Amino acid sequence: MDSIIEVHNLTKVFDPDIRAVADISFNVERGEVFGFLGPNGAGKSTTIKILTTLLRKTGGTAKIDGIDVARDPGAIREIIGYASQDVGVDDDLTGRENLKLQCRFYHVPNGEVESRVDKILKTMDLTEAADRKAGTYSGGMKKRLDLAAALIHEPKLLFLDEPTTGLDPQNRRAVWDYIKSLNQSGMTIFLTTQYMEEADVLADRLCIIDQGRIVAEGTPASLKAEIGADVVQVSLKEDGEPAIRQKAKAAVMGIEGVKEVRDYDETIAVFAQGGSSIVPQLVRALDSAGVTITRLTLAGPSLDDVFLKHTGRKMRTEEAKQPARLPGRSRSRRGR
């Protein structure tokens, strides 16, 4: 395979002792959509900022199209596009003026500016609003304009840092469709996201990152297949009190076909072969143990279940865990 991104043992430490990215390695192949999935604070944006030359790494290597990002950042910027979480359009300029300004930044030949701007405005369904100030645009329109600005110089590789955060479902799906069309035209896309469905729908391959470390890597289908079981989520009457959860887990572990039982927030998650046939036995076992069920759901494995299996917890989109601190460093060091 031909890799356009090669990352080896990449590390980023913020002074004095916060390890935001911890010795990660991965490759991105030309022509694929590569997903970087994880909760807020996992290290996704730090990684993408290093790859787009906006942040210096602490250790390891990162190359794009064979170019070391630390040695020749200027060459990197010429071949990539980048749309960050925060929309970077100028509200005082029209949509058209925003895009023409980006053309100047990227030294697009003067003779090509008008045609490129018209083409991208049409593609992003912004032609009618092109000569209005961007400050009058809706949130979804601003997102599309920001994405257009990242594409105006026709990059080899597009970085999208949580491109649909804050969008309503309709606008989110519109952005998904456009990302798919870009990829079908041959563009390689590096996508960070905290949305399981987004990674499942868009990514050819993905890494799951948590607390600065990659915990799983593969295609969405292969990662879900590794679970090797259906997942039965059981809510308990006693609101998941630890003693009750332990009692429930002990009761169901003896059932044939149950592979694993894990705490799942205030519930338990039962990984079992043939989940539908296990459910009646599970209900009987918990009833015999004096444990009351308030809700039970059965589903095939999802990326959420993959995250649970590798980290022991559910991934919430709003969570923001602190990055890992270096061993032996005191939490009170900043105050010394």
Q: Which CATH architecture has domain 3-220?
A: 3-Layer(aba) Sandwich (3.40)
Q: At 20, list the tokens.
A: 């935001």
Query: Would you say 24 and 44 are in contact if contact means Cβ atoms under 8 Å apart?
Result: no
Is 60 exceeded by the pLDDT of residue 318? no
Stretch(es) of the chain classified as CATH 3.40.50.300: 3-220
**Any residues with CB less than 8 A from the CB of 308 and at least 6 apart, and which?**
262, 264, 269, 314, 315
Query: Would you say 146 and 88 are in contact if contact means Cβ atoms under 8 Å apart?
Result: yes
Inter-CA distances, 48 with 113, 161, 259, Å: 28, 7, 37
Residue type, 173: R
Q: At 266, list the tokens.
A: 């205030």
Strands 188-193 and 157-161, by their bridges, are parallel
Cis peptide before 39 (omega within 30 of 0): no
Q: How far apart are CA 328 and CA 300, in angstroms?
A: 42
Q: At 209, list the tokens.
A: 């990152």
Identify the pLDDT of residue 269.
Answer: 87
Stretch(es) of the chain classified as CATH 3.30.70.100: 229-300
Domain 229-300: give its CATH code.
3.30.70.100
Lowest-confidence pick of 128-142, 211-225, 317-331: 317-331
Is 60 exceeded by the pLDDT of residue 14? yes
Strands 230-236 and 293-299, by their bridges, are antiparallel
Is residue 76 classed as helix, strand or coil in its secondary structure? helix
Q: At 171, list the tokens.
A: 């606008």
Q: How far apart are CA 135 and CA 42, in angstroms?
A: 32
Inter-CA distances, 310 with 38, 249, 251, Å: 12, 19, 23
Percent of the chain with pLDDT over 90: 50
Is 80 exceeded by the pLDDT of residue 11? yes
What are the pLDDT digits (tens) for 135-165?
999 888 898 899 899 988 889 999 999 888 8
The more confidently predicted of residues 274 and 61 is 61
What are the pLDDT digits (tens) for 228-256?
888 888 988 766 678 888 889 999 998 98
Q: At 303, list the tokens.
A: 């990326």
184-218 exposure pattern, b = at least 16 Cβ within 10 A, e = fewer: eeebbbbbbbbbbebbbebbebbbbbbbbbbbbbe
Identify how many contiguous H helices and E strands the chain contains and give both numbers: 11, 15
pTM value?
0.79
What are the pLDDT digits (tens) for 160-216?
998 888 778 888 888 888 899 889 989 999 999 999 999 999 999 999 999 999 999
Radius of gyration of the chain (CA): 23
Half-sphere exposure of 106 (CA within 13 A, CB side): 24
State which H helix or E strand residue 117 sits in: helix 110-123
**Any residues with CB less than 8 A from the CB of 318 and at least 6 apart, and which?**
40
* Bridge partners for 235 per DSSP: 295
